[in-house]
Each structure stands twice: as structure tokens, then as C-alpha cells.
Amino acid sequence: METIAKPILLSGSSVSPLEVFYAADAALIGWNENCFDYLKRFEEAVCRTLGVKYAIATPSCTAALHLALLTIGVGPGDEVILPDSTWVASANPVAYTGATPVFVDVCEDDWTIDPEAVRRAVTPNTKAIIPVHLYGHPCKMDEINAIARECGLYVIEDAAESMGSLYHGRHTGALGDMGCFSFHGSKTVVMGEGGVFTTNDERLYARARFLGDQAKHPTIRFYNEEVGYKFRLSNLQAAFGLGQMERLEEIVAKKRQVFRWYQEELEGIGGLTLNPELPGIRNNFWMVTPVLGPEIPMDAAQVLSQMERRAVSPRPFFYPCTDLPIYQSRRREPTPVAHRLHERAFNLPSGAEMAREEVRYICAHLRQVLTGKERQNPVTGWLARREDFLRARDSFPGVEFVNPDFKTMNCEIVVEDVGQLTGKLLNRIHEKCGFRRLFIRQRLQPDGDCDGLRRLGFAEHQRTPLTQVGGAWIPLLLQPYGEAQAYEAVFSKTFP
């Protein structure tokens, strides 16, 4: 079975010109009296989208969880219950406070924290529960909240992976006393790094806002009566995040489409199941996660190894936290489901902008690994065009191919001297690499032109005004004033 030359990566975000525009605007004018503008807009967008009253943007979800625990006074001697199946960042903030994380098992049907195990774990020292909406599937929040009310506990949702997931029509992050999200570059909604704390409780919000901004005195400047924390997101990141939040439904729809493609391509493999989606739930399917049934004579580690050899970048299901050296002593009762999931499940590439051809390629190879049978040659569509290009590009020394797009078959080329370009060379690039349109960039003076490129069949595609700053040429993208000192012109040639 043919294998592609470059791996298909595990995750990938969906970014549009909207996020780029907001971020550029924040970079240009988001300072001084405007330094919190995008932060406020981002927090308002989170509240509006999730249906919560209050939101505080933070540097990470870990910071948001830490802030939530500090807000309710968790400290030494307290216990916090959380699932054994989760990324260690769910547990570490508990350790930061000096409290004790108590790990319990997860449910077979949705991989999230088991309410009955939670009930067994409650002691007089228990202060809070952290249900984790694992891989995007919401926890059984009605049952968790009922236990919390009965026992006088706080519920802090670790919603890091679940932006856009719904629990009986309500967004995660709006279901407990507090919620915490991640905008890490691998997540559904991204800003590189970042998080947000959410709540409907005015008292909790006020306390969290106070502690997260260095515990500033409300009336006396630079006078602090408590130890505070620097848990504020930057305005630049918030600008990017605002664009992502405004596109949330579009991005979630893309993620769910990718999951449906996996369902279709993997149908009929005995003993293989994918992520759950219980009645009343909308799973954002942050990660596509196959689980190997007992009839499949391989474990997850063996499948991961085989898929990596086939240029696919999968990853293991989270280790149970109690298997990690730092938390082994915290195991109070067995967690068989968490351990079985780690041994039998794994994550496949799940980027929001994945193409059907990529999913088909991955699934064809997974089918071969699990069954020894091929359904079809998996290298099709744009993946096949990429392979043809990788084999042909060495035939053109002196030509650099920049960001080739194998779906549209457009590519920018760079040569040391544009005067060396000939019609014959361009036609050879088209014939051997298959590109339908080639682009070339040239910096021009305000009255400059490129007659040589025009004679080769290039037409001006776009022109960006430039100004020189510190020896570098900078685009005048959003400034409403200033004279251009030069232009960056992009020329394109389309082949019949």
C-alpha cells in the first residue's frame, strides 16, 4: 500500500481572515486607552455564546482552574475529586493549592467521571468536584450537581476540550458553579495559548477577578492586602480569540463533519468503536478516538506504532493520572475503565480543516493494520498530487516552491533572478508538478512595473503598499494614513 512522504498531523485549527484582521487591528491600535478593548469584547462574546453572566480571560485553562480553586479557598487539608482519565493539567492546579487530588474512575458509556465513584469518594475534607468533559463529551452534569448540592460541594467544570459541546441544549462551562476552557493551539477554538473562567455567580466572579489581577485594593493604588496572581490574557490574544468565538458554530460543524467521515470510512471493522455521543448531547468531537474491542488482538501502543510508520501522527489516550509517578500515591480505589481506555484507545488526526482524502488515507491504513486487508489505494485526490510534486520538485534547481496548495493547485515560486525565467521553464513546472496557477512577488517603486513578467503571461494579481521601518519593509494594512514608499506586487500566471 502506497504511503505518503509527509505525515498527517494530529491537530489543526480553522483560521479565517476575520481573526487575522482583529489581531492586526489590536497590534496597531490596541494600546494605552485601548489596551483592554479586545479583552472586553472577547469576554462578552464568551458570555453571549455560552449563556453565562461572567467570564474572565486567562493565560491558560490551567490558570483558570487554579483561579477557580483559589476563589473558593481550596488549600492544604482539602480534597478535590476528579477523574483518573484526564490530562495532568486537570490535577496540577489542585496540587498548586496544597490540597489533595482524589482520582475516581470514569463511565464506560461516555468516558467521563463516574457519579457513583464520586459519591463513594466524598469525605468531610472534600471541597470540590472537577468533572472533565473528556475529548469534548459533556459529563453527566445533572447527577454531579445533585451530589454536590447534597454534600455542599463546589463544581468546577474542566471544559478545556469541549468548547461548542452541548448538554441537553446548554453549553459546557455554564453547567456548574464555575467553568474553565482552553484555547491551546490544538483545541477546537484556538489562540495559541489562553483560557477563560466562567460563572453565573456574582460573588465568585468578583472574588476571581480580584485575585486574578494581583488582588489590587479597590480604591488605593499599588496597595495590596492579599497575595494576588497575574492571570490576565493579552489583548492581542483576545483579539484572535474573538474571531474564533464568532466562528464557533462553523468550526464545530467542521469538526463534526470530520468525525462523520471517519465513521463512514471505518464502518464494518469488527470490534472497533469511536467516540460516544449519548442522547441529549452534542459532542464537538475535539479528538477522533477509536477504541479496540477485545476481539482485536492488538493494543493501542501497537496500532500507534504501525500508523506512525504510515505517515500518520496519532497519539495515545491519556494515561490514568494514578499511573504517573507524581500521583501514584493518590490512588484510593481501582480505576479499571480508565486503565482499559488507555490500553485500548488512541487519537487520530482531527484537524478542523482536514480533507476527505486525508481521512480516507488514514482509515485505509488503519483498516490494513487491523484486518490485513486493503479496501482501496488510499493515496487519492490532493494527497496524490502532493506526492507527484514531491517527486518532481528536485527537477527544478534554483526554483523555490512556497506554500503549494494541492487542493487548488496554486503555488508561489521564488527565483534568484526573475530575468532567468523563461516560458519553457514555466511550462515544465506546470507539466511536471501539475500547478494550474503560479504566483511571483516583486517589490516595486510607486511608479514601477514588471514588463518581463507580463511578457511571460503574468498578470498583476494584487498590490500591497509598503513602508520602511527600521530597515524592514512593512505592509500598510490597516493604517488609514501614510504614503507608500513601495509596493509588493503579486503576479499570477494561469495555465489552460
Beta-carbon neighbour count of residue 348 at 10 Å? 25
Query: How many Å apart are CA 66 and CA 68, to the nearest integer?
Result: 5
Q: Could you give the angle at which helices 300-309 and 356-371 cross, rounded to 10 degrees?
A: 120
Angle (nearest 5°) at CA 337 between 333 and 343: 115
Grid coordinates of 463: 498590490
Beta-carbon neighbour count of residue 350 at 10 Å? 26
Please report the DSSP string for 181-230 in residue order.
Answer: EE--TTSSS-SSS-EEEEES-HHHHHHHHHHHBTTB-SSSTT-BSS---B
Q: How far apart are the first and last CA of the chain?
A: 33
Chain length of the chain: 496
Query: How many Å apart are CA 241 and CA 235, to the nearest integer?
Result: 10
Grid coordinates of 319: 494515561
Closest CA to 26 of 224, 173, 200, 236: 236
Query: How many Å apart are CA 433 and CA 92, to the nearest integer?
Result: 50
Query: How many Å apart are CA 355 and CA 258, to the nearest integer?
Result: 8
Please report the DSSP string for 403-448 in residue order.
Answer: EEETTTTEEEEEES-GGG--HHHHHHHHHHH--SEEEEEEEE-TT-
Closest CA to 252 of 47, 14, 51, 11: 14
**Residue 472 Ramachandran class (φ > 0 left, ψ -120 to 50 alpha, else beta):** beta
SS3 of residue 272 by DSSP: strand
SS3 of residue 456 by DSSP: coil
H helix and E strand count, the chain: 15, 20
Query: How many Å apart are CA 295 and CA 270, to the nearest integer?
Result: 8
Cβ(79)–Cβ(126) below 8 Å: yes
Residues near 336 by beta carbon (within 8 Å), at least 6 away in sequence = 105
Q: What is the DSSP letter of 396?
A: S
Catalytic position from the list 187, 424, 432, 493: 187
Is residue 127 part of the annotated active site? The answer reads: no
Annotated catalytic residues are 187
